[in-house]
Amino acid sequence: MAKVLVVTSGKGGVGKTTSTAALGVALARDGQNVVVVDFDVGLRNLDLVMGAERRVVYDVINVIQGVVKLPQALIRDKRIATLSLLAASQTRDKDALTEEGVAQVIAGLRERFDWIICDSPAGIERGATLAMRYADAAVVVTNPEVSSVRDSDRIIGLLDAKTEKAEKGERIEKHLLITRYEPSRVARAEMLSIDDVLEILSIPLIGIIPESEDVLRASNLGSPVTLSNPASAPARAYVDAARRLKGETIEMTVPADKKGLFDKLFRRRAA
């Protein structure tokens, strides 16, 4: 049965789009039929992170307005056959995203895919609430930093109030994904620890993504980190998170890059 997953956070810049792309690739490489959907109408970026920016013809608003049918707007990934993208529109009015329209698009996607991963815009306005509206599960992306944790708390409240599942009295599955985590700074008590964040937000942890230069490199290349460098620490963390989403039990660790002696001697000073 298809599963609709919203990747959300409240705060901008914490890694929603990066995580949508990385999880989408990880699930698709695992043989799942996956579509990643950009809900950030007016400011789309998932196409760029997925490396498909030159190939966008139609978007989700075109589908809602009936200009094209859903299959015509889906962009098949050139590298992974089981992965597709549905882009957000770049120019059109935000109000073009309607509740009925989103319901219809999600229903159409449910017939075609195992996973529908919705990349939410930042904020708590219409775009964000519509992205989560029909979700079965949510990945709340949080940085170990005060404003991000606070905004995640707001979003968790919205998930429990504004989603269709919540309104029907059902529980929406919520998972915490901590990104940009730096163990060395936590050790020096400069950064909130995993336990601190978990204690405050009290939703189950799905993964811990370490801060890494590989993530920036991946968006530069337009190739999600789970595709461009699967052996890297963040990619392994995303793959583990994707497997947990599928229901597998995997021990929670913070993958680390193996560092050579030179790195240890010289790069610490530079950091």
Partner 1 sequence: MNFFGFGRRRSSAPIARERLRILLEHERATAGQKDLMLVLREEILAVIGRHVAVDPEKVMVKVDRGSTMSTLEIDIEVPNVEMRLVPA
State the residues that interact with partner 1 by CB under 8 A. 48, 53-58, 67, 69, 71-72, 90-91, 216-217, 219-222, 262, 266-267, 270
Q: Which is nearer to partner 1, 59 or 151 (CB)?
A: 59
Query: Please, what is the minimum distance in Å from the beta carbon of residue 57 to partner 1?
Result: 5
Q: Which is nearer to partner 1, 189 or 261 (CB)?
A: 261
Q: Which is nearer to partner 1, 204 or 266 (CB)?
A: 266
Cβ atoms of 4 and 116 within 8 Å: the answer is yes
DSSP letter string, 3-65: EEEEEE-SSTTSSHHHHHHHHHHHHHHTT--EEEEE--TTS--HHHHTT-GGG----HHHHHT
Cβ atoms of 36 and 146 within 8 Å: the answer is no
Backbone angles phi, psi at 93, to 5 degrees: -65, 140
Q: Which is nearer to partner 1, 90 or 193 (CB)?
A: 90
DSSP letter string, 84-137: EEEPPPSSS-GGG--HHHHHHHHHHHHHH-SEEEEEPPSSSSHHHHHHHHT-SE
Q: Which is nearer to partner 1, 89 or 129 (CB)?
A: 89
CB atoms within 10 A of CB 231: 10
Torsion of CA 237, 158, 197, 239, to 10 degrees: -10
State the burial class of residue 138 (Cβ atoms within 10 Å of its Cβ: 0-12, 13-18, 19+): buried
Q: Which is nearer to partner 1, 77 or 151 (CB)?
A: 77
Q: Which is nearer to partner 1, 80 or 205 (CB)?
A: 80
List CB contacts of 69: < 8 A, sequence separation 6 or more.
63
The two structure tokens encoding residue 89: 């529109």
